[in-house]
Structure 1
Amino acid sequence: MQIRETRLASGLRVVSDPMATVESASLGVWVDAGTRHEPPEINGISHLLEHMAFKGTERRTARDIAEEMDAVGGHLNAYTARDHTAYYAKVLKEDSGLALDIVADILQHSTLDAEELAREQDVVVQEIGQANDTPDDIIFDHFQATAYPAQPLGRPVLGTEDLVRGMDRDTILSYMGTHYSAPRMVLAAAGRVDHDALVAEAERAFAKLSTQPDVKPETAAYVGGDYREDRDIEQVNLVLGFDGVSYEDPDYYTASVLSTLLGGGMSSRLFQEVREKRGLVYSIYSFTSSYGDGGLFGIYAGTGEDEAAELVPVMCDEVVKVVGGVTEAELHRARAQLKASILMSLESTSSRCEQVARQILVYGRAIPTAEVVAKVEAVDNAEIMRVARRLFSTTPTVAAIGPLSKVEGYERMVERLKL
């Protein structure tokens, strides 16, 4: 079966990825609005709005929403990212109409009741506190803020306690009216779905969406630098990173293979050298984060206070070494890992639904799996060396939390990373 896309007169894009052999359907709405679309004075509003969407509509109380989904054994959830927000459900095939109606209802008819808002502000403040008390979580917010200082892409998804408590119903409605318009949304479905029926239901269910045009976010400007917070805890949590690539960068797939090869699995260079050979960490991995106009390449490690003295030089050495090339066996394993991940994800309705929705938001089209796999398989040693040099020649970003007495200074790390 083939992925189909239809653009409604309102600008809402409807895309389906049918799977004839399953009994369920995943569907949802992906909104081109996230943390990077927020003015600084209302940082965190995308996330608060995501919470409030489930707190009651003109037709349903918060309890009704929960009970209707539970009554059909379904799952309803949402998340906020820096560049988008998603509201999604998974149900049996015969209940896809109900799921669509609920998602459409919470996106167009939420009451944003004042009492519910006050309670949910308390919930989000607790979430902020929990994140701050979790070093291996909050370290990534500090890493992001150091890479992109004083700009929307560097601000935390959750916002701050003062900002969250200062948001009222009118502020949320104003933000929603500006950013939650049909041209900024993708309705995606995967599984046992019929495209024509989905389009017909969408035209009815989403009739109240505004048609306000796109609002462009501030362009990302990578800076880099050093953030350190000495805490009396057991582990040093460290992230070392560099300027990365955007989704549309020609080096996107090469950077993904490089990350897998360097720290993406048990056979990766960092895992083998830092954990298996030296026993310096329990957790170490590399990652890439991409946006429409930029990205990050990073390495996370958690280690003890004494081990940190050895860890940092070894991490830097491995980064420098990969610029000199990799073996064909390493490259084969990294490509195989990525390829397997891509193909295995096709077995999940949820994964396919999100994948096609994100592709429509980012690229404006659904990308055939064969095209993605071909780009992964085309990555060779010369490309790895070139992209590694490109990325690791940029100004490093370092974020560290924990007992930092034996963590090398930023300038010394910069010296070690010179190519």
Structure 2
Amino acid sequence: MPNLLALSNGLKIVVDPIKTVETASIGVWVKIGTRNEPAHVNGISHFLEHMAFKGTSTRSAQQIVEEIEAVGGYINAFTSREMTAYQARVLKDNFPLALDILSDILLNSIFDESEFQREREVIHQEILESYDAPDDIVFDYFQELLFPNQPLGKPVLGTPETLSSITTDELRKYMSTKYAPHNMVISIAGNVDPDTVFHKVQNAFSCLNDFDTCLPDKGCYKGGIRSYVKPIEQTQWLLGFPGVSSCDPDFYTSAVLTTLIGGGMSSRLFQEIRENLGLAYSTYAYHSCYQDTGVFALYGSTSPEKTLELAQKTLHLLKGLSTSITYQEVERSKTQLKAGILMGLESTTGRADRAAQQLLIHEKLTNSSDIIAKITAITLDDVRTFSEKILHGPMTCVTLGPMPLQDELAKILKM
């Protein structure tokens, strides 16, 4: 079990010592993402993540990456709808450097105006690149239809319009009002000494003062049908249903059902849609679980003239699922999930990430053995009952392709 220390300012530090590896991974996780943003500055969480690497009072942007790569290390960050994470992985003897750089970019970033303007253009190019990637942008369209006019439905990158309205003052204000220590976890896994690490991290981050923050608006699933037209070779298709939150008792049952329907090459979607019918190269299921809501979804891409057939065959596959699921399918899916968890224990970054997410979502650490036990306890009846509940909720359907299909899809989905 990892070692946990909570500082008086609310910051949590978790250390998972692994003496059999030669590396150490560290992540500074913040429970702030797209759903915390005011509408007029949508994308500011992602912008802030970028600007953290653009210079501090002691390092230039180039020095930040040169120092970590000079020791063969890796540094990066990402933003999601509920979290932002800053991560580094280094050889064990270079852990102090990784900690120093991450603390520097989070505590001493200067948000230089020239770097800010240049990075705004970089993100603008990132947005335009996503527009040219149909299998990427369709998920933003889908999210917008799932949660319309809500922060949870906004794109992580923002839009060209909201990006242009963000200023350095707004970045500073956003960071100073959102990055509260009680919303943060520093997670370390690897060949390190817990006491030494606790001391170093405490020295680096105890200067932070805690403050109250506002909770994000509750997510409200709406759904509907929408067909976006774009002159591309294939049609992207997404079908969704109301899912469960990351704290729901059925979270792991949802994971089993997701794996069973579309989580691998033995899944029903892959076997039927790809192997038997040849309708798609890529097709899968996934569940997105947020702190208060969730989405259960299926994805596929196919030729425009085969899109309606793909929709019909996918819906046919879902009909009667609650009675046709077999014991063998459930056990295979459970084994896939458990194996994935155990394999993840061999990655220092994976272990650091898992501990951080547990603390931010559940405010406690859970042993992998306890998670394995929960998955093992799921029965055939549990999965059948859950599928009946999930798949009878209101549907959301989005397509992106060269032909408008909204009316035809509406007829199919009503059947």
Which range, TM-score by smaller chain?
Answer: over 0.9
Q: 1:63 aligns to what?
A: 62
Note the C-alpha offset of 1:200.
0.9
* Secondary structure of 1:282's aligned partner: coil
Query: Given residue 128 of structure 1, which amino acid in structure 2 is its aligned partner?
Result: I
- 1:265-276 matches, within 5 Å, as 265-276=264-275
Give CA-to-partner distance per residue, 1:179-213, whole Å, 9 cap, x none: 11211100000011222112111121113323113
8 A Cα contact 2:228 2:404, kept in partner: no
Structure 2 portions without partners, runs of 5+: none
Q: 2:226 aligns to what?
A: 227
* Secondary structure of 2:373's aligned partner: helix
TM-score by length of 1: 0.97
**1:184 aligns to 2:204 (yes or no):** no
Instruction: List 4+ stretches of structure 1 deviating above 4 A.
Output: 405-408
The separation in 2 between residues aligned to 1:336 and 1:240, in whole angstroms, is 26
The separation in 2 between residues aligned to 1:85 and 1:405, in whole angstroms, is 36
Q: 2:28 aligns to what?
A: 29
- 1:375-394 matches, within 5 Å, as 375-394=374-393
8 A Cα contact 1:136 1:237, kept in partner: yes
Q: 1:92 aligns to what?
A: 91
Note the C-alpha offset of 1:408.
6.4
Alpha-carbon spacing, 1:310–1:379, altered in 2? closer, same or farther (3 Å): same
Note the C-alpha offset of 1:267.
0.8
Note the C-alpha offset of 1:405.
5.0
Q: 2:133 aligns to what?
A: 134
Q: 1:170 aligns to what?
A: 169
Give percent identity, aligned residues only: 43
8 A Cα contact 2:230 2:400, kept in partner: yes
Note the C-alpha offset of 1:366.
1.0
Query: Given residue 160 of structure 1, which amino acid in structure 2 is its aligned partner?
Result: T
The separation in 1 between residues aligned to 2:405 and 2:6, in whole angstroms, is 57
Note the C-alpha offset of 1:309.
2.5
* Secondary structure of 1:307's aligned partner: helix
8 A Cα contact 1:325 1:381, kept in partner: no
Paired residue total: 415
Query: Given residue 152 of structure 1, which amino acid in structure 2 is its aligned partner?
Result: P
* Secondary structure of 1:20's aligned partner: coil
Q: 2:79 aligns to what?
A: 80
The separation in 2 between residues aligned to 1:89 and 1:278, in whole angstroms, is 44
8 A Cα contact 2:308 2:409, kept in partner: no
Query: Given residue 78 of structure 1, which amino acid in structure 2 is its aligned partner?
Result: A
Deviates more, 1:77-86 or 1:156-165: 156-165
* Secondary structure of 2:297's aligned partner: strand
The separation in 2 between residues aligned to 1:231 and 1:353, in whole angstroms, is 41
CA RMSD of aligned residues (A): 1.2
Q: 2:256 aligns to what?
A: 257
Q: 1:293 aligns to what?
A: 292
TM-score by length of 2: 0.98
The separation in 1 between residues aligned to 2:359 and 2:14, in whole angstroms, is 8
Q: 1:144 aligns to what?
A: 143
Structure 1 portions without partners, runs of 5+: none
The separation in 1 between residues aligned to 2:356 and 2:343, in whole angstroms, is 18
Note the C-alpha offset of 1:349.
0.4
- 1:317-328 matches, within 5 Å, as 317-328=316-327
8 A Cα contact 2:227 2:406, kept in partner: no
Give CA-to-partner distance per residue, 1:93-121, whole Å, 9 cap, x none: 11111101111111111000000000000
Note the C-alpha offset of 1:139.
0.6
